[in-house]
Amino acid sequence: MNHRKTGRKFSRVRKQRKALIKMLLGSLIMHEKITTTEAKAKETKNYIDRIINKAKETKIEDKKVATLRELHKHIPETAIKKLNGLFLEKFESRKSGYTRVIKLAPRKSDSAKMAIIEFV
């Protein structure tokens, strides 16, 4: 039974799943818009809110080092640099809801539900 279990497995083992999410988060931050399957987009949306809120904590000098270490676990170095730059200023007034998921037509090859995830 799957009671009280959260998150999607994507038919992958834990390390592969973590690598997939890290890659999706990095791509979303770098390109600000990606096209992927609907399930991956919805899962990425959950993680990106937490990461942007963590990045906002880097402005507080006492927590800066610990927060940067935490971000290194979840996104690549280049994405962290972009995130700490002008990117955070866009979301200064928001507390959550940084992304939107737009559903697309199914993919032709395997009829997978597709979606675009982008920043608001």
State pLDDT tens for residues 67-87: 888 888 889 888 988 888 878
User: What CATH number is attached to the domain comprising 64?
Assistant: 3.90.1030.10
Domain assignment present for residue 100? The answer is yes
The whole-number pLDDT of residue 69 equals 83
* Helix segments in 1-120, DSSP class H: 14-31, 38-56, 64-74, 77-82, 88-90
How many folded domains does the chain comprise?
1
Tell which wins on pLDDT, 24 or 2.
24
Q: What is the pLDDT of residues 8-29, one digit of tens each?
A: 899 999 999 999 999 999 999 9
Domain assignment present for residue 95? The answer is yes
Domain assignment present for residue 4? The answer is no
Instruction: State which residues form the domain around 40.
Output: 35-119
- Of 25-34, 37-46, 57-66, 72-81, the range with the lowest mean pLDDT is 57-66
The whole-number pLDDT of residue 30 equals 94
The whole-number pLDDT of residue 86 equals 79
% the chain with pLDDT above 90: 53
